[in-house]
Structure 1
Amino acid sequence: MKNKCFLCPPEFNNLEFDLEHIIPNSIGGRLKSDLIICKTCNNDFGHNLEISIAKQFDVICTTLNIKRERNEPPKIKLKTKEHADDFTIFPGGKTERSIKTRKIGNKEYLIYYSSLSELEKLKTQISKNREIVSEKEITEGIPGEVQKFHTLLFGFSTGNRTSYRAIAKMAAFYYLYCGGLPELIHPISGYIKGIYAANIVFPYSPESYINPPPNLENIQHTIFLTGDFETKLLWAYIELFNTFSYAIILNRNYIGPNIKSNYSINVMTGEQSTTFPPIEPKLPQKPLKNYIPDMQCRWKYLAKLVNQKLFFHNIGYKLGNDMYDYTKGTIIDEKIAEDLSNKLFSNEGSGFQSI
């Protein structure tokens, strides 16, 4: 990139560049450059696009505690399937009720607590509101016991139009990071800024994914870039969390040199690699929109990991009721937690949404 912001209009020549992540740091990206975008454009466009992509994947990033360079993923709220109650989800998957007390009758309260000291604190709070707390509080089980597992509602999406612009920005900026000529992809800048709509980004599920299904030690983001002078095509394949995959058409009349480049990062460990995958993605032949059902099959692996993380915070507690093959009083260890999580996930399933 030669002293020109990629997103600035041609008549501008802003030299005050800003450090920009190729893949947003909010979803675990580390690769960055300070020679692509100026501070003004980053404030006007970059931050809004990053907010959109971070929101799309907030359940994954917070529950799995996806590594960032600074700060932890934010706390988020999910609702339960049973009562639509709010639960706060902390980085790593720990859950806590957002509202611990609920009035259910004349001077009767439903109180949720995890320790006797917390119960006394909640009773004191109710008393401060000039309510008399009777000795008939209805509680959600005995501290140290799990009476019921709540089904927290979450879903995945291929993204909306703003998310697609963020995906296009990742592909374009990676091309520039690799030394590509900005004039060969300059029309993409208008799409990234939201000036016009175009068929540039498509959900795409290849016959063979670059990465294996995600697990708690290996969750990767990958960008694979290909420019071919003979076919006149410059395109990128982006795979996020080993799961959400997209084809991005950067130029359908490419006249630059042949280029092939690959970058991946394990967002659980921070390890980065430029090693080429054993199977290179190919631009699909059938209509790209037909790949969403295939992608949804891949989503189930990731949904299962999220569900497992949310469940694992019950380790060390005793079952307050019989559940599947386990009797009341069974202490939940890691093996039992994984088994119960899998059975609950199989019965409850998860919802998917494509836009």
Structure 2
Amino acid sequence: MNKCIYCNAEITEKSNEHIIHSALGSSLQSNKIICKECNNYFSTKESGYIDNKFVEQFAVIRNLLNIRSDRGKMPPIIKKIEHEGSAILLEPGGKFAYQKSKREEMKDEEGNIKFKISAPNLEKAKEQLKHVQKQYGKGFSSINAVSRKTYINKPIDLELSIGGEESTKAVAKILYNFIHYLDRESIITLPNIDWSSTQNYLRYSKDIDNRSTGIDYVNPLPYLIPEEDLANYVFISGSKHQKLIYGHVIVFGHIYFSAIIHNEYEGIDFSYGVRQPIDTKREEIFLKLKKQKFNPDVIRDKENYLVENIEGMKSSLNKILNIYAERSKKEELDKIISQAISEVFKGYEGAYINPEHIQKLSAKVAKDFVDWRYRIDSEVPIELKDELEE
């Protein structure tokens, strides 16, 4: 029977532990490494919520890239964003939306009551109109409604804070889980190792000054990650010469961490890794990785490497944002083309496309793309009264 890697108790009741957090789009997990009690511990205040705090750092990135958990749970909506005096939301996929509807009551020169309603979507607009109807009755002389596509033209500050002792402690936990996953799945055979120091650090919050984990853009990776890759990676290595078991955790292909989980290792050299794409439930175990010498000072003496790591993090975040920008452009263009085709060929049942269709389609796609690309607001009339009567 397997023993829990955190408390050494026999695992009598199986409990699934994700090697890489599910909220980061990964599905790799094991029910052979942790007991239920220890698994529950890591979701309590006593543990410092290290798993949650690690994942929460990437909320904005998860939102922009629309990364779902392995069970399909949507990424978080980013709230508390202000734009020109209005509260807005960042919905999954990087879509901005106004948080609240507005209803403004006015009177014209003849004393007639008018309402101006603005809402983030059509359903919210209908709700506001129903409130007005309930208050004043349905005897409106007219209802004029437009769907206005508006864009945010000014920069918006989105908070992104990565690092810190509690959250990077989760990096050591990922590596500790991974090496035992490899062992329990018979991918490697670990020698008899005293893990008490790592257990005390992760499970019992002792040695809280441990600094052998953190952001690391200095040590080379044992695998060349493609520029456009957004997969999650975990690399674990053992060096008899350095007496270290250490590894790297790469989030979304560009955000690098490393940690030492044992500093008295005397076994044979090894190096393994896993690649977990964010859009599939497939993982790839790497059995052969480049052997790289690891510089432990990068994470033990963080101040001396602070500038290099900050610059590396900036560069990585820019790469992720560029990937997001290209994805959103393609997504928007696909949507524009689809809508244009639907509009131009609405009700058309002919067998052939004529030059007039092509001209209308080209003009529609060009206009909508220019509006989107250069942030030009546009309005389309809506028969809101008819929809309400239905």
Letter in 2 for 1:30: S
Alpha-carbon distance change, 84 to 146 in structure 1, aligned in 2, over 3 angstroms: closer
In the TM superposition, what is the alpha-carbon distance from 1:113 to its structure 2 partner?
4.4
Match of 1:292 among 302, 305, 310: 310
1:213 corresponds to which residue? Answer: 227
Q: Work out whether residues 114 and 144 of structure 1, in 8 Å CA contact, stay in contact via their aligned partners in 2.
A: no
In the TM superposition, what is the alpha-carbon distance from 1:35 to its structure 2 partner?
1.4
Letter in 2 for 1:332: D
How do 1:22-61 residues align onto structure 2 when only pairs under 5 Å count? 22-45=19-42, 48-61=49-62
Q: Work out whether residues 77 and 90 of structure 2, in 8 Å CA contact, stay in contact via their aligned partners in 1.
A: yes
Matching of residue 184 in structure 1 with residue 194 in structure 2:
yes
Once residues 340 and 282 of structure 1 are traced to their aligned partners in structure 2, the CA distance between those partners, rounded to angstroms, is: 49
Alpha-carbon distance change, 286 to 53 in structure 1, aligned in 2, over 3 angstroms: closer
Counterpart secondary structure, 1:119: helix
More helix by share: 2
Percent of pairs with identical residues: 19
Alpha-carbon distance change, 161 to 130 in structure 1, aligned in 2, over 3 angstroms: farther
Q: Work out whether residues 19 and 34 of structure 1, in 8 Å CA contact, stay in contact via their aligned partners in 2.
A: yes
Q: Which runs of 5+ in 2 are unaligned?
A: 108-113, 184-189, 341-364, 376-390
CA deviations on 1:242-264 (whole Å, 9 max, x unpaired) are 12111111112212232211111
Once residues 77 and 52 of structure 2 are traced to their aligned partners in structure 1, the CA distance between those partners, rounded to angstroms, is: 14
Letter in 2 for 1:16: E
Q: Work out whether residues 229 and 256 of structure 1, in 8 Å CA contact, stay in contact via their aligned partners in 2.
A: yes
How do 1:1-355 residues align onto structure 2 when only pairs under 5 Å count? 3-8=2-7, 12-45=9-42, 48-78=49-79, 79-83=81-85, 85-90=87-92, 92-101=93-102, 111-115=118-122, 119-126=125-132, 128=134, 142-143=146-147, 145-146=149-150, 148-149=152-153, 151-179=155-183, 180=190, 183-193=193-203, 194-197=205-208, 198-206=210-218, 210-214=224-228, 218-275=229-286, 282-284=293-295, 287-288=298-299, 289=302, 290=305, 291-306=309-324, 316=336, 331-333=367-369
Alpha-carbon distance change, 174 to 131 in structure 1, aligned in 2, over 3 angstroms: farther
Q: Work out whether residues 217 and 313 of structure 2, in 8 Å CA contact, stay in contact via their aligned partners in 1.
A: yes
Counterpart secondary structure, 1:37: coil
In the TM superposition, what is the alpha-carbon distance from 1:273 to its structure 2 partner?
1.7
Q: Work out whether residues 78 and 90 of structure 2, in 8 Å CA contact, stay in contact via their aligned partners in 1.
A: yes
In the TM superposition, what is the alpha-carbon distance from 1:275 to its structure 2 partner?
3.3
Once residues 201 and 328 of structure 2 are traced to their aligned partners in structure 1, the CA distance between those partners, rounded to angstroms, is: 38
Q: Work out whether residues 95 and 310 of structure 1, in 8 Å CA contact, stay in contact via their aligned partners in 2.
A: no
Once residues 279 and 80 of structure 1 are traced to their aligned partners in structure 2, the CA distance between those partners, rounded to angstroms, is: 47
Q: Work out whether residues 219 and 295 of structure 2, in 8 Å CA contact, stay in contact via their aligned partners in 1.
A: no
Alpha-carbon distance change, 236 to 208 in structure 1, aligned in 2, over 3 angstroms: closer
CA deviations on 1:265-324 (whole Å, 9 max, x unpaired) are 121344422236876654237644322222221111113344566675595399xxxxxx
In the TM superposition, what is the alpha-carbon distance from 1:108 to its structure 2 partner?
6.8
2:353 corresponds to which residue? Answer: none
Paired residue total: 321
Letter in 2 for 1:212: P
Counterpart secondary structure, 1:178: helix
Q: Work out whether residues 88 and 98 of structure 1, in 8 Å CA contact, stay in contact via their aligned partners in 2.
A: no
CA deviations on 1:56-114 (whole Å, 9 max, x unpaired) are 22222233232433122244124145436131513x34443221226699997661344
Once residues 152 and 68 of structure 2 are traced to their aligned partners in structure 1, the CA distance between those partners, rounded to angstroms, is: 31
